[in-house]
Amino acid sequence: MNLIIDVGNTLVKFAVFEQDRIVEKHAITSEGFLNFFKTIIKKHRNIDKCIVSSVAKLMTDDVGYVQKKLNTLILNSETKLPFKNLYKTPKTLGVDRIALVCASVEQFPDKNVLIIDAGTCITYDFINTKNEYLGGAISPGIRLRYQSLHNLTANLPLLETEMPENSIGNSTASSIHSGVVFGILKEIDGVIEDYQEKYSDLTVILTGGDAYFLSKQLKNSIFANSNFLLEGLNFILEYNSH
């Protein structure tokens, strides 16, 4: 069994894999990391390998404890990967983006794949039929857009995410919902169409915390998979175990 630990900007995700199947997953705050780790390895005593992917800071002591208890791979720019990385600054490529590309290599081999991760940020990552990672884009996610409108202006309220009924907002609240949500939907559809012009046989994956909220409204054909990053991390762990 494998333990996958994904430390994101908002939450820490734990997933237990038996081969390529998730048998258990949880999302917790970083404050409860160590206690939860102890609980999960006690519950699943046959976990023998672990991978830690962190885009946020995890306490050195916490990482050290994990390494002491399990055979642990810390994902970074030096990790052996199953694709050719053509990013000009490979050391700055986020480990979350690396994991997503690896998931596409395993599940959609030899295809042109655009992976869209709708989380705190929206990331776009592209790998071609030659197994070459070319790069992509990073843009603010849904919550960042709501928060920016509130934090950087004097009078705009902070709203909870809501699907607008109409693109024409007739109040401040409905105008914000329209601008944020429809703006993101138009952005994603526009990016997909731009890639489709260059790559007619494009496969598009949508993942991340906001994937299902957005997927119903997108006009382009996509695969929505909220576990794509976790599956990529499990694949990296297995790929580095042989």
- Mean residue pLDDT of the chain comes to 94
pLDDT above 90 (res 216): no
pLDDT above 80 (res 82): yes
pTM of the entire structure?
Answer: 0.93
pLDDT above 90 (res 55): no
Whole-number pLDDT of residue 200: 86
Structure tokens belonging to residue 29: 């705050």
pLDDT above 90 (res 78): yes
Over the stretch 117-140, which tens digit does the pLDDT of each residue have?
A: 999 999 999 999 999 999 999 999
Would you give the DSSP letter of residue 32?
G
3-state secondary structure 62-127: HHHHHHHHCEEEECCCCCCCCCEECCCCHHHCCHHHHHHHHHHHHHCCCCEEEEEEECCEEEEEEE
pLDDT above 90 (res 10): no
Tell me which architecture the domain covering 84-233 has in CATH. 2-Layer Sandwich (3.30)
Do 2-74 and 84-233 fold alike per CATH? yes
2-74 belongs to CATH 1.20.120.1200: no
The domain locations on the chain are 2-74, 84-233
Bigger pLDDT: 58 vs 237: 237
Of 6, 219, 7, the closest CA to residue 15 belongs to 6
Over the stretch 153-177, which tens digit does the pLDDT of each residue have?
A: 999 999 999 999 999 999 999 999 9
Bigger pLDDT: 6 vs 219: 6
pLDDT above 90 (res 94): yes
Give dist(CA 95, CA 77) in Å, integer. Answer: 8
- The secondary structure of 205-221 as a DSSP string is EEESTTHHHHHTT-SS-
pLDDT above 80 (res 107): yes
User: Annotated active-site positions, please?
Assistant: 96
Q: Mention every residue, 6+ apart, whose C-beta is less than 8 A from residue 232.
A: 98, 99, 100, 101, 102, 103, 104, 106
Whole-number pLDDT of residue 59: 72
